[in-house]
Amino acid sequence: MQLILNYSINQTETQLVQLSEKYANQVTDLDDSENLQLLEHLTEMTDTSAVILDQEGTKLLQTNWQEDLTDKTLTSNEIMQLKRGETIVKEFTSNGSTYLKVAQPIINQNGTNGSVVLFSSFGLISNSIHNIIFLVILASLGAVVLAIGFTFFISKKLGAPPLIEMEKVAKQIAEKKNFSLRVDYKANDEIGSLAHAINHLSETLERYQTNRNEFFSNITHELKTPLTYVKGYANAVRHEMYQNKEEKDEFLEIIENETDHISDLMDDLMDLSKIEEGKIDLNKEDININKLAEEMLKRSQFRASEKGLTMHLNQPENTVYLFADKSRLDQVLTNLVENAVRYTEKGKITLTVQEERKDVIIRVEDTGIGIKQEDIPYLFERFYRVDKSRSRANGGTGLGLSIVKNLVEMHDGSIQVESEIDKGTAITLRFPTEEEKQYNALSR
Ligand SMILES: Nc1ncnc2c1ncn2[C@@H]1O[C@H](COP(=O)(O)OP(=O)(O)OP(=O)(O)O)[C@@H](O)[C@H]1O
Ligand SMILES: [Mg+2]
């Protein structure tokens, strides 16, 4: 405000000085009536008040006069200054309004003749300044309102429905284990991808929960069946419900077999859970695969011949080596050969060892009952059995192949099943050699 006021005072001062100088220069004869017209004209145009005084300071004429100015014309000191030919510039207040006074001597050939005094009021300027202040205050208020509105909008966007809903859903998932909940919010921004992540998390947890529930109900079922047998036959033996000693031995043998079955199931489950949690370490070494296959053949020959099956081994002249965990690889082959014997009634079982380019291939083939194409994708799931009653009668629980798959994958291998109903099944394992793995890692 001060700045604007100072500026306008300076401007007005310059203007008044110029104006009074011009007038004083033009007017020499104070009695000329044209002087009055000129003065009136000038004061109207510049919105100033003017008075012309004679040498003694007596008022000769005035234009555009305001009452406030009556006793403000000139002091005797100022009249003296004018007589000396000096210009007077003075600022004063009267009745609350600020004025600028400029007095200029009128000089003719004989010396100082009189003077012209111009007055200009700053009332208008201070009005404008007040208007400006009013506008500034209004604009500040507007800015504050806008800022509040914007903050409100942002906090609503961040705090409102989607985020609050997400918080609720996350709490329900964590506290109530309600994994079927989803956040219903789709957008291509950060909040949208957060919603997507929460939904993905609850889907994964839901799947995990279903799997776990199925797993427990399967285990319970698997344990219940043999226990029912054990209990039933133990009861029969205790109450001597057998005809003769042979029948008693038969009952006891069933009890023995069923407890073996439970024990096998426990071992398999322990294995599977350790493998799936990544808790087993592989003790890898160079294994002579030809030798491993020969041992396998010898071990299963007895069970095969019991069922009237023949066992064959196909392997190359040279020795095939694979860098692997011997006992785990043995476990894989045992499971596959056991399946082949278990699900084959007549014919033969062939074990093949091959080297194909840089892969080591081990194949177990049988001439058994075969597997329907639609069942093949599920074979490696825990507890999956194609024919439950038949498999159980053979002592199977459906864990073997899922253990096999996990172990093969831990060795970076792959597994492939080909089968035809009543013709037989071939399961092929393919392991990359270390050399090949290094090559793949380098070329990646
Ligand atoms: N060689 C095969 N011929 C026909 N069916 C097979 C063969 N191998 C596996 N299957 C089918 O796949 C199912 C799953 O096999 P898997 O080895 O996982 O379980 P299992 O043999 O029933 O029980 P276990 O856990 O004792 O091995 C079997 O129940 C059987 O129906
Ligand atoms: Mg099996």
- CATH superfamily of this structure's domain 281-443: Histidine kinase-like ATPase, C-terminal domain (3.30.565.10)
Q: Rounded mean pLDDT of 42-71? A: 81
**Strand arrangement of the beta sheet that strand 310-314 belongs to:** 310-314, 348-356, 359-366, 424-432, 414-420
Q: Are 335 and 304 in contact (CB under 8 A)?
A: no
Kindly tell me if the per-residue pLDDT of 5 is higher than 80.
Answer: no
Q: Rounded mean pLDDT of 9-21? A: 85
Kindly tell me if the per-residue pLDDT of 189 is higher than 90.
Answer: no
pLDDT at 91: 86
Q: How many CA atoms lie within 13 A of 370 on its CB side?
A: 11
CA dist., res. 304 & res. 299, Å (int): 10
Count of other CB atoms within 10 angstroms of residue 262: 16
Q: Is the CB of 183 under 6 A from ligand 1?
A: no
pLDDT at 421: 96
Q: How close is the Cα of 380 to the center of ligand 2, in Å?
A: 10
Q: Rounded mean pLDDT of 416-427? A: 97
User: Could you report the per-residue pLDDT of 78-132, keeping only the tens digit for each?
Assistant: 888 888 888 898 888 887 777 888 898 888 777 777 888 888 887 766 777 788 8
Domain extents in the chain: 2-121, 190-274, 281-443
Q: Which two tokens stand for residue 352?
A: 């093949």
Topology alike, domains 2-121 and 190-274: no
Q: Rounded mean pLDDT of 297-317? A: 94
Q: Rounded mean pLDDT of 27-51? A: 77
Which of 345, 379, 406, 419 to mutate for ligand 1's pocket (most ligand atoms within 8 Å of CB)? 379
Distances (CA, A) of 15 to 20, 27, 47, 53, 271: 9, 18, 12, 21, 105
CA dist., res. 358 & res. 177, Å (int): 49
Q: Is the CB of 399 under 6 A from ligand 1?
A: yes
For the ranges 123-132, 316-325, 341-350, 367-376, which has the lowest average pLDDT? 123-132
pLDDT at 158: 65
Beta-carbon neighbours within 5 Å of ion ligand 2: 339, 400
CATH of domain 2-121: 3.30.450.20
Q: Is the CB of 337 under 6 A from ligand 1?
A: no
CATH of domain 190-274: 1.10.287.130
Beta-bridged to residue 299, according to DSSP, are none
Kindly tell me if the per-residue pLDDT of 390 is higher than 70.
Answer: no
Task: Note the Cα 325 to chain centre separation in Å.
Answer: 42
What DSSP letter does each residue of 74-119 carry, written as one string? --HHHHHHHHTT--EEEEEEETTEEEEEEEEEEEETTEEEEEEEEE
Q: Is the CB of 396 under 6 A from ligand 1?
A: yes
Nearest to 415 by CA among 377, 368, 385: 377
Q: Are 348 and 417 in contact (CB under 8 A)?
A: no
User: Could you report the per-residue pLDDT of 274-290, keeping only the tens digit for each?
Assistant: 888 888 889 999 999 99
Mean pLDDT for the chain overall: 87
Name the 3-class secondary structure at 350.
strand
pLDDT category of residue 252 using cuts at 50, 70 and 90: very high
- Amino acid letter at 28? T
pLDDT at 137: 93
